A and B are shown apart, each in its own frame.
Chain A
Amino acid sequence: MIAMSTMLNGVLLGGLYALYGLGLSLTFGIMRTVNLAHGDIIVLATYLALITTQVLGLTPLMSLAVLVPVMFCIGYGLQRLILNRTLKDGMMPAVIITFGLSFVIQNGLLLGFSADRQVLRQGAIETMGVTLAPGVTIGVFPILTLAVLLVMIFALQAFMGRTLLGRAFRATSDDPATAELMGIDGKRIYGLAMGLSFAIIAVTGVVMGIRSNFSPFDGPARLIFAFEVIIIGGMGSIYGVLAGGLILGIAQTIGGAINPTFFQLAGHLVTLGILVVRPSGLFPETIERD
């Protein structure tokens, strides 16, 4: 029973981690640079949801109607106005800019909201649980998270596989110069990819804020989990994100069941182990390029 409930909890936690990884995987796969502010932007989205709920009186899930388009525009603007200017100099400028951005967001949130932990209130669903068997109870909201994740993964997969724009995304990922020759505006694609990533982050941030409390400095840990999901799953693979999230979640809960202090450590060790055995992850889809 304990083993089963540990596995189930790992799977449910993994759903949240896969959400963290989904937005990062998208931009990482297309632009090949890592957004070091990814975790802080998740936390920023949670605080924006907090403001939206307080000002407009919406529930957190309803606030997504405002938040998703707003975040899309922020992401699109960030890429087109700032990150696109440095593309010709390789990946280092983008890494340093997003690293700087990470400190700006953390300390900006600290100045605006203090270091107190906050929480998004969605109501009864937060604490509802389903008892599957004696001693095995799982939360309704974590199941909902998993469902949201699956819907987004299938939608993203269909978008990338079946639409013209999705094909342009994949072409730019494989070979931006040739894609450009075919009439694809690479800078616009990068902007849209970052916007889409930010829209996914908006959903991620709200889900995170309902599931647990949050504070301005929670971002870096979220970035590390997101990155581990991609390392395990393989760069550019959307289904890999699901696999990576589940493996990371299960590794952490098993580690935590052995000894509470092994919780995060077990996840890191599994990630490093994957890097040793398969440096490009379990299901890599992108083409190696410099």
Chain B
Amino acid sequence: MAESQIVTPRPYARTSSAALPLFALAVILAALITLPFWATGYTQRSVLEFLYFLALAQAWNLMAGYAGMMSIGQQAFVGIGAYGLVVMAEDLGINPFLTVPLAAILAVILAVPVSWLLFRLKGAYFAVATWVIAETVRLTVNANIDWLGGGRGRTVRSLGQFDRHLREDLGYWVALALAIIAVFGVFFLLRSKTGLALQAIRDTENGARSVGVETRRTKRIVYLFAAAIAGATGALIYIVQINVRPDAAFSINWAAYVIFIVVIGGIGTIEGPILGTLVFFFLRDMLADLEAWSMLIFGLIAIMMMLFAPKGLWGLLNTHRPVLLFRTARRLPERFAAHKEGE
């Protein structure tokens, strides 16, 4: 009954100007779905990589940009997904492509106890604790479990049952599905009641709690969602790469690239990570032969962005006239808006 007195701000009403982005979106999606039929193998592999980095970036952005959880340990779940693939496909005989959703579930199951520990920590403690946990998992897998192949890792031999082209095409579509789930999952989550809670937490966590937002529950939903995406991505990456080694699967670079992507594109928006992933791939392609230089330059760019454009490239594009591709912002009801002006 109290419910009826609460004025829930509505998402922006859809206007005719939304028709154009929707049309563009349909064209892009159609092009992406049919890509294996018209693009070269090189393009397809590049787009595949783009798609899974986009999925990881969206998940990290939701976590860091909205829920204020600055994780530098998502590689823990990428690695868990990768080893989930190895165990399920090799030892349990499950179809490798089916292990992708199963790896997401595995990551969530392991993320629940991890979240009990992490959620007692704040800010910088949280950040480094995520990394310590990822290192702990890596070292455990690396040295102590012969079954997982130790430091040499294991190869997913059961992928040999698929023809190479079929494997690459299926892998590509799985990556596309994953990216779509990540982008639209974040989109619909942000438009839901949980999304409203999240945006309140982003603006001020204590304030949100004081008006009755269940901050802990909301943050846990986000953390588990991000773990699921990272787990599925881990399984997918090693369907493509076949050979799973702990140093690579649990590499801090999975976190680092994603942080660079989100910082370049713009933290706390859906559009930012998309733009960021595009720019990241463009830069990485240009610097492909100079690996040390490219990491150095990405580090410098992250520093510069934080100093001069903390809202990222998308924030720069939006300074004068807001472009809303993904409408997640909310408008106050008229009577509150009028009241505000009258003050």
A residues sitting closer than 8 Å to B (CB atoms) are 28, 32-34, 36, 82, 85-86, 89, 91-93, 95-97, 99-104, 106-108, 110-111, 220, 223-224, 227-228, 231, 235, 259, 261-262, 264-265, 268-269, 271-272, 275-276, 279, 290
**B286-310 vs A, Cβ < 8 Å mask (1 yes, 0 no):** 0000001101101111110011001
Closest Cβ neighbor of B253 among chain A residues:
A103
Distance A86 CA – B311 CA, assembled complex (angstroms): 13
Task: Please give, as numbers and ranges, the residues of chain B lying within 8 Å of A34 by CB-CB distance.
Answer: 124-125, 127-128
Q: Which 7 A-B pairs give the minimum distances between C-beta atoms?
A: A261-B143, A103-B299, A100-B302, A34-B124, A107-B296, A104-B299, A100-B299
Q: How far is the CA of A111 from the CA of B293 in the complex (A)?
A: 8
User: Considering the chains assembled together, what is the distance between the CA atoms of A262 and B143 in angstroms?
Assistant: 8
CB < 8 Å neighbour of A95 from B127, B143, B206, B299: B127
B220 → A minimal CB distance (Å): 17
Known contacts being A95-B70, A97-B302, A224-B132, is A265 close to B120, with CB within 8 Å?
Answer: no
Q: Are B206 and A227 in contact (CB under 8 A)?
A: no
Q: Is B8 an interface residue (CB 8 A)?
A: no
Interchain CA distance A32-B142 in the complex, whole Å: 33
Given the interface pairs A106-B295, A107-B292, A224-B131, the reply to whether A93 lies near B306 with Cβ below 8 Å is yes
B136 touching A220, Cβ below 8 Å? no
Q: Can you list 13 residue pairs at the A/B interface with Cβ under 8 Å?
A: A32-B123, A86-B310, A89-B310, A93-B306, A95-B127, A99-B72, A100-B298, A104-B300, A107-B299, A110-B292, A231-B125, A268-B136, A272-B117
A100-B300, A104-B300, A106-B295 given; A86·B70 CB < 8 A? no
New A-B pairs, 5, CB < 8 Å, besides A32-B124, A89-B310: A28-B124, A33-B123, A85-B307, A103-B256, A103-B298
User: If the complex has contacts A264-B139, A268-B139, are A227 and B128 also in contact, measured as CB distance less than 8 A?
Assistant: yes
Cβ 8 A contact of B296, one of A104, A271, A290: A104
CB <8 Å contact, B139 and A103 = no
Contact residues in A for B332 (Cβ distance below 8 Å): none
Q: Are A268 and B132 also in contact (CB < 8 A) when A96-B259, A111-B296, A220-B252 are?
A: yes
Listed residue (A223, A272, A276) with the most chain B CB atoms within 10 angstroms of its CB: A272
Contact A97 B307 (CB under 8 A): yes
Chain B CB within 10 Å — which of A91, A107, A262 has the most? Answer: A107
| Interface presence of B135 (CB below 8 A) | yes
Neighbouring A residues of B132 by C-beta, 8 Å: 224, 227-228, 231, 268, 271-272
A86 nearest in chain B by CB position = B306
In B69-104, the 8 Å CB interface with A consists of 70, 72
Distance between A27 CB and nearest chain B CB, rounded to angstroms? 10
CA distance A62 to B139 in the complex (A): 38
Q: Contacts A103-B295, A224-B132 given: A86-B307 contact, CB under 8 Å?
A: yes
From the candidates A89, A101, A227, A265, name the one contacting B299 in the complex (CB within 8 A). A101
Within 8 A of A (CB), among B17-37: none
Contact A82 B307 (CB under 8 A): yes
Known: A100-B303, A220-B252, A265-B144. A272 touches B136 (CB 8 A): yes
Q: Which residues of chain B in 26-83 are interfacial with respect to chain A, using CB atoms and an 8 Å cutoff? A: 64, 68, 70, 72
Residues from chain B with a CB closer than 8 A to the CB of A97 are 302-303, 306-307
Residue B121 at the chain A interface, CB threshold 8 Å: yes
Q: Which residues of A contact B125 (CB under 8 A)?
A: 34, 231, 235, 279
Q: How far is the CB of A144 from chain B (nearest CB, A)?
A: 30
A86 and B124 CA atoms in complex are apart in Å by 15
Which residues, 235 to 264 on B, are CB-close (under 8 Å) to A? Answer: 252, 256, 259-260, 263
B159 within 8 A of A: no
CB-CB under 8 A from A86, the residues of chain B are 306-307, 310
- Tell me whether B136 and A269 are in contact (CB under 8 A): yes
Point out the residues of chain A lying under 8 angstroms from B64, CB to CB: 92
A110 to B290 Cα, complex, angstroms: 12
Partner of A276 from the list B117, B263, B299 (CB cut-off 8 Å) is B117
Is A104's CB under 8 angstroms from B303's CB?
Answer: yes
Are B124 and A91 touching (Cβ within 8 A)?
yes
Contacting residue for A99 out of B140, B144, B256, CB 8 A: B256
Once the chains bind, are A262 and B121 in contact (CB under 8 Å)? Answer: no
Q: How far is the CA of A3 from the CA of B292 in the complex (A)?
A: 44
Q: Is the CB of A99 within 8 A of B259?
A: yes
B129 within 8 A of A: yes
Task: Known A92-B70, A93-B310, A100-B299; judge A261-B293 contact (CB<8 A).
Answer: no
The CA of A92 and the CA of B127, in the complex, are separated in Å by: 10
Interface assignment of B133: CB less than 8 Å from any CB of chain A: yes
Residues in A neighbouring B306, C-beta threshold 8 A: 86, 93, 96-97, 100
CB contacts (< 8 Å) of A276 on chain B: these are: 117
The CA-CA distance from A29 to B281 in the complex, in Å, is: 38
Bound together, the chains give a CA A290 to CA B129 distance in angstroms of 18
Chain A residues whose CB sits within 8 angstroms of the CB of B140 once the complex forms: 265
Chain B residues lying within 8 Å of A110, measured Cβ to Cβ, are 292
Which residue of chain B has its CB nearest to the CB of A261?
B143
Q: Give every chain A residue within 8 A of B259 (Cβ-Cβ).
A: 96, 99
B139: A residues at CB distance < 8 A? 261, 264-265, 268
Question: How long is the Cα–Cα vector from A95 to B73 in the complex, in angstroms?
Answer: 14
Query: Which residues of chain B from 208 to 227 have any CB-CB distance to chain A below 8 Å in the complex?
Result: none
Instruction: Determine the residue in chain B with the shortest Cβ distance to A103.
Output: B299
> Provided the pairs A86-B310, A95-B127, A97-B302 are in contact, do residues A224 and B292 lie with their beta carbons within 8 angstroms?
no
Q: Which residue on B lies nearest to A269, using beta carbons?
A: B136
Q: Is the CB of A91 within 8 A of B123?
A: yes
Shortest B166–chain A CB gap in Å is 38
- Give the chain A neighbours of B256 by CB distance below 8 A: 99, 103
Report the bound CA distance from A99 to B131 in whole Å: 12
Point out the residues of chain A lying under 8 angstroms from B135, CB to CB.
Answer: 224, 264, 268
